[in-house]
Amino acid sequence: MGDVKEVYLDYQSSKPVDPRVIDGMLPYFHERFGNASALHHVGDVATEALDESRRAIADYINADHDEIVFTSGATEANNLALIGYAMKSKRKGNHIIISEVEHISIRNIAKYLERQGFEISRVPVDKYGRVNLRKLERRIRDDTILISVQFANNEIGTIQPVAEIGTLAEERGIAFHSDAVAAEGLVSFDVKRDKIHLMSLSSNDLYGPRGLGVLYMKKRYRVNPILIGGGQERGLRSGTEDIASIIGMKLAIDIMKKEMSTEVKRFEGYRKKLIDTVLAEIPDSYLNGHPTERLASNAHFRFDGVEGEALLLSFKDKGISVSTGSACTSKTLEPSHTLIATGLIHEEAHGSLQLTPGRFNEDEDIDRVLEVLPDVLARIRKMSPIYNPKTR
Amino acid sequence: MGDVKEVYLDYQSSKPVDPRVIDGMLPYFHERFGNASALHHVGDVATEALDESRRAIADYINADHDEIVFTSGATEANNLALIGYAMKSKRKGNHIIISEVEHISIRNIAKYLERQGFEISRVPVDKYGRVNLRKLERRIRDDTILISVQFANNEIGTIQPVAEIGTLAEERGIAFHSDAVAAEGLVSFDVKRDKIHLMSLSSNDLYGPRGLGVLYMKKRYRVNPILIGGGQERGLRSGTEDIASIIGMKLAIDIMKKEMSTEVKRFEGYRKKLIDTVLAEIPDSYLNGHPTERLASNAHFRFDGVEGEALLLSFKDKGISVSTGSACTSKTLEPSHTLIATGLIHEEAHGSLQLTPGRFNEDEDIDRVLEVLPDVLARIRKMSPIYNPKTR
């Protein structure tokens, strides 16, 4: 790369751990490493750390500490929420509702549950990617046991009407699960306010370590375990607890509590600059997702006559990491199911660019992308057999 | 604790991460943190790290890199091996054999599989805790699909005849799984030599980070996934890979390859001193487990007229961390199923002490335990209504 600074604008896909979190984790790798199931001093230290973290996480989302289950990540939390709840509740009914724009882990879990005999309804979204409440309500049946709708979309950043969905679910006696990963650090969480009964969180999305997640489980909303073993986490999630990471998530939350409001304002500035400049200066460019109900760190565009992959590789050559959609599926190069669900055709969906700044970006990173983008686009469009300028 | 150095002799329950491993992991938390599913530079770094670690682990056990699946720990590896293999193979048969001295995670998985309609045979062990091969062979049926026997016992340290079991399994066309966690860093692994088809490993038991494990899966031995999601690890284990920990496990293995033979000799010295001194100087004391076929770091005793819990708490008061059995169940205070399986009665099993030294112990730690033990035992026995000295 020579002397050019690498620019990373793909925070929605993966985040570096905050150095302050790493510092705080260090003692738990070596000096304070015990097994929380052991009865001696070293084990006590681990038990205290576990308890301390559980309380901090509960406080962050306005839950109780005994409603927090540690998992190996958001994927496992989603598995425990959907498969665990479905299996536990199958005598009550076998119908589950998800949205058409869920993260791939929820989508694939839903397919798995269909093979196990559950019926899944997928509720459509509007052109901004928002779940339509009336359409959701119309899909509710007497045998509906669970509604799973993300807090915000991990691609286009659209924030879902979770409080309204929670109210609806509670009125109808249905459990409401929300995969809140994409919204972490960007919106305030309050499971009581929003009437969320099950919620998945990831540590990494708060700038904590990877390989750790949490399932919030409201009292009386029970799930069957997915991983069987030594009976840790009250039998719901077996396996020796990863204390260093668990403390890491707590420290990440401590930082978030203090800094989120300032940080979100900074991201809103980046977002405004990205969106305003791109739409003003790039011909035939459009914003994907909702104009206002969107995550502060999300700018998502589509460009006529451009292949997302070509865009991504051109940026890569210039030392800029961006995304064309969900990182979890981007290697497949399939068009984004989210964009298709908002009504785009395949060609339109393929010409998308996702820019998600984060904690360690500086103003100059945003400037650099905006400086590079017009040339990159012009070059790609020049070689494109399908680009017909509409504007100009 | 004042000025007295804390002594930790419970390495079988949990290990501190080697400081050299922590140092090597650090860059992967922040500077080199990417998502291996992303298509840009940062993602490439993650993909390379993943590949590098996979090859090092494969090499360590004499497997191929595409036979290594990363999991969130040994518990998940055991779930994937037993539940995953059973579900995948249920058309071939529904009978599974485990030993009576398996780790609680295998025992509980077996109970789960019974509830799913599988039949489980539990093969007994001899008085040293070793699986009896003839008894194992007699339990094999036409519908037996899987044999799961640990590499070594996590409580009494008895090494199982895995090569013989592997040969037997292969002759009869049955898959052989071994939970190798307790033996990590203490014996040499060679899945080809030992004819092991599925093997569970934990990163922490090699002085690597917690929250990471591996399932070795020989080619053509397929399993159904347990966690559904983005399709990482060839669809077998979804969830964004924890690159820092994955590199940590690789570094732990690099150290192990270089230092294991020296380290094992040192542990054998500790073990000899512990066993010789205790049996010579403590009246009515006995060694649990096999006299020679045992892990180098394991010394496991029972003492007439002593409650394990009292022993453990007395040691705790003196700043010494020890165990009375499996850490994963020690909080339940039930007698160890392993000791019961070796033919001990409940009272005998309750009077046990497990000492498992490890990498960061020094000679003086062993001396300190041996200095404290006689007094501690004498005091407990004095108050014991059940102790009748046999010797003396």
Write out chain B in H/E/C secondary structure.
Answer: CCCCCCEECECCCCCCCCHHHHHHHHHHHCCCCCCCCCCCHHHHHHHHHHHHHHHHHHHHCCCCHHHEEEECCHHHHHHHHHHHHHHHCCCCCCEEEEECCCCHHHHHHHHHHHHCCCEEEEECECCCCCECHHHHHHHCCCCEEEEECCCECCCCCEECCHHHHHHHHHHCCCEEEEECHHHCCCCCCCCCCCCCCEEEEECHHHCCCCCCEEEEECCCCCCCCCCCCCCCHHHCCCCCCCHHHHHHHHHHHHHHHHHHHHHHHHHHHHHHHHHHHHHHHCCCEEECCCCCCECCCCEEEEECCCCHHHHHHHHHHCCEECECCCHHHHCCCCCCHHHHHCCCCHHHHHCEEEEECCCCCCHHHHHHHHHHHHHHHHHHHHHCCCCCCCCC
Q: Which of A105, A212, A320 sits opposite B230 (nearest CB)?
A: A105
In whole angstroms, what is the distance from residue B32 CA to residue B177 CA? 35
Of A255, A280, A309, the residue that ends a domain is A255
The one catalytic residue among A4, A228, A279, A328: A328
Candidate list B42, B226, B328, B372, residue with the active-site label = B328
The ipTM estimated for the assembled molecules is: 0.90
Q: What is the mean pLDDT of each run of 10 residues along chain A (392 residues)?
A: 75 95 95 75 84 96 97 96 97 97 96 97 98 97 98 97 98 98 98 98 97 97 92 86 95 98 98 98 96 98 89 91 65 80 90 95 97 95 83 53
* B104 and B122 inside one domain: yes
* Cα A345 to Cα B118: distance, rounded to the nearest angstrom: 48
Mutation test of the interface with chain B: which of A7, A28, A29, A50, choosing the one with the most B Cβ atoms within 10 A? A29
Question: Is A247 found in the same domain as A278?
Answer: no
Tell me if A392 is assigned to some domain. Answer: no
**B199-240 residue pLDDT tens:** 999 999 999 999 999 999 999 999 999 999 888 888 888 888
Instruction: Tell me: pLDDT of B302 over 70.
Output: yes
A171 to chain B nearest CA, in Å? 30
Q: What angle do CA B210, B364, B159 make, to 5 degrees?
A: 50
- Please spell the DSSP secondary structure of A56-120, one letter per residue: HHHHHHT--GGGEEEESSHHHHHHIIIIIHHHHTTTT--EEEEETT--HHHHHHHHHHHHTT-EE
Tokens 């340290």 sit at which residue? B157
Q: Do B209 and B238 share a domain, yes or no?
A: yes
* Cα A63 → chain centroid: 20
In a domain, B388, yes or no: no
- Measure CB to CB from residue B16 to each of A33, A204, A241 and give the nearest one: A33
Q: What is the pLDDT of residue B329?
A: 47
B126: domain CATH number is: 3.40.640.10
In this predicted structure, what is the pLDDT of residue A5? 78
Q: Are B363 and B370 in contact (CB under 8 A)?
A: no
The enclosing domain of A274 has a CATH number of 3.90.1150.10
The pLDDT-based confidence of B333 (bands split at 50, 70, 90) is low
- Which residues on A lie below 8 Å from B313 (Cβ)? 39
pTM to 2 decimals?
0.92
Residues of A in contact with B39 (CB under 8 A): 309, 312-313, 316, 323-324, 330-331
Q: What is the pLDDT of residue B177?
A: 98
Does the pLDDT value for residue B2 go beyond 60? no
d(CA B48, CA B58): 15
In a domain, A208, yes or no: yes
- Per the domain annotation, does A29 fall within a domain? yes
Q: How close B158 gets to chain A, by Cα (Å)?
A: 21
- The single-letter code of the amino acid at B319 is G
Q: What is the pLDDT of residue B326?
A: 47
By Cβ distance, the residue of B10, B17, B46 closest to A29 is: B17
- Interface contact B13-A31, CB threshold 8 A: no
Range of the domain at A128: 19-255
Q: Chain B closest CA to A86's CA: distance in Å?
A: 14
**Last residue of some domain: B255, B278, B311?**
B255
Q: What pLDDT is stored for residue B41 in this prediction?
A: 74
Residue in B37, B73, B323 closest to A331 by CB: B37
B327 pLDDT above the threshold of 50: no
Same-domain status, A231 and A377: no
Q: Would residue B51 count as lying in a domain?
A: yes
Q: What is the pLDDT of residues B10-23, one digit of tens each?
A: 999 999 999 999 99
- How far does A392 lie from chain B, in Å, by closest CA? 32
Residue whose entry in the numeric block shows the structure tokens 């305003």 = A276
Q: Are B30 and A22 in contact (CB under 8 A)?
A: yes
d(CA B59, CA B190): 9
Probe site for chain A from B227, B232, B241 (most A CB atoms < 10 A)? B227
DSSP character for A148? E
Phi and psi at residue A235, to the nearest 5°: 80, -5
**For helices B19-29 and A19-29, what crossing angle results, to 10°?**
160
pLDDT in the model for residue B4: 65
* Same domain, yes or no: A340 and A243: no
Q: Å from B46 to nearest chain A CA?
A: 11
Instruction: List the alpha helices (DSSP H) in chain A.
Output: 19-29, 41-61, 74-79, 85-88, 104-115, 133-139, 162-171, 243-281, 308-317, 327-330, 337-341, 346-350, 363-383
Which of residues B388 and B57 earns the better pLDDT score?
Answer: B57
- Cβ atoms of A312 and A322 closer than 8 Å: yes
Q: Is B159 a catalytic residue?
A: no
Q: Are residues A266 and A170 in the same domain?
A: no
Cβ atoms of B127 and B342 within 8 Å: the answer is yes
Nearest CA in chain A to B13: A35
Nearest to A239 among B72, B226, B243 (CB): B72
Q: What residue type is A6 in one-letter code?
A: E
Cβ-contact A82, A146 below 8 angstroms: yes
CA distance B98 to B107: 8
Nearest-by-CA chain A residue for B42: A321
Among chain A residues, the shortest Cα distance to B360 is held by A30
Closest CB from A30, A228, A240 relative to B22: A30
Per-residue model confidence as pLDDT tens digits over B349-372: 888 999 999 999 999 999 999 999
What would the pLDDT profile of B334-347 be if each residue is shown by its tens digit?
789 999 999 999 88
Q: Does B392 fall in a domain? A: no
Looking at the structure, tell me whether residues B176 and B35 fall in a common domain: yes
**Beta-carbon count within 10 A of B317 CB:** 11
Question: Number of H helices and number of E strands within chain A?
Answer: 13, 12
Q: What is the arithmetic mean of pLDDT over B287-292?
A: 97
The SS3 of residue A158 is: strand
Binary contact (A43, B321; C-beta < 8 A): yes
- Chain A interface disruption, residue of B112, B210, B309, most A CBs within 10 A: B210
Would you state the structure tokens that stand for residue A287, as one six-digit string? 């914003």
Chain-centre distance for alpha carbon A45: 32
* The pLDDT of residue B135: 97
Task: Nearest chain B residue to A309 by CA: give it.
Answer: B39
pLDDT tens-digit readout, B193-209: 999 999 999 999 999 99
Tens-digit pLDDT profile for residues B241-267: 899 999 999 999 999 999 999 999 999
| Residue A245 sits in the same domain as residue A290 | no
Phi, psi of B313 (to 5 degrees): -70, -35
**Which comes out higher in pLDDT, residue B164 or A2?**
B164
Disruptive mutation site among B1, B39, B309 for chain A (greatest number of A CBs within 10 Å): B39
pLDDT confidence band for B391 (50 / 70 / 90):
low
Give the residue among A213, A293, A286, A209 at the shortest CA–CA distance from A252. A209
Taking CB atoms and an 8 Å limit, are B37 and A327 in contact across chains?
yes
Q: Are residues A243 and A272 in the same domain?
A: no
In this prediction, residue A376 carries a pLDDT of 94
Distance CA(A3)–CA(B212), nearest Å, equals 36
Q: Quote the number of domains for chain A.
A: 2
State the smallest CA–CA distance between residue A133 and chain B in angstroms: 26
Residues 6+ apart with CB under 8 A from B316: A39, A40, A41
Structural domain includes residue A357? yes
For residue A82, tell me if it sits in a domain: yes
Do residues A359 and A345 share a domain? yes
Instruction: Residue A228: list chain B partners with CB under 8 A.
Output: 75, 79, 83, 105, 108-109, 112
Domain final position from A255, A280, A296: A255
| Pairwise CB contact (< 8 Å): A38 & B13 | yes
Shared domain for B189 and B161, answered yes or no, is yes
Q: How far apart are CA A289 and CA A286, in angstroms?
A: 10
- Rounded Cα–Cα distance for residues B225 and B217 (Å): 13
**Which of A105, A243, A319 is opposite residue B238, by nearest beta carbon?**
A105
Token duo for residue A250: 């707590």
| Contact (CB, 8 A) for A21 and A207 | yes
Do residue B72 and residue A74 have CB atoms under 8 angstroms apart? no
Round to whole Å and give the CA distance between A175 and B64.
Answer: 45
Q: Which pair of tokens denotes residue B322? A: 């020890």
b/e string for A297-316 if b means 16 or more Cβ within 10 A? bbbbbbbbbbbbebbbebbb
CB contact under 8 A, B240 and A204: yes
Are residues A251 and A290 located together in one domain of the fold?
no
pLDDT, averaged across chain B: 93
Contacts of A23 (CB under 8 A, 6+ apart): none
Residue B220, burial from CB neighbour count under 10 angstroms (0-12, 13-18, 19+): exposed
Q: Which residue bears the tokens 């709708």?
A: A149
Which residues of chain A make contact with B108, given a CB cutoff of 8 A?
Answer: 228-231, 238
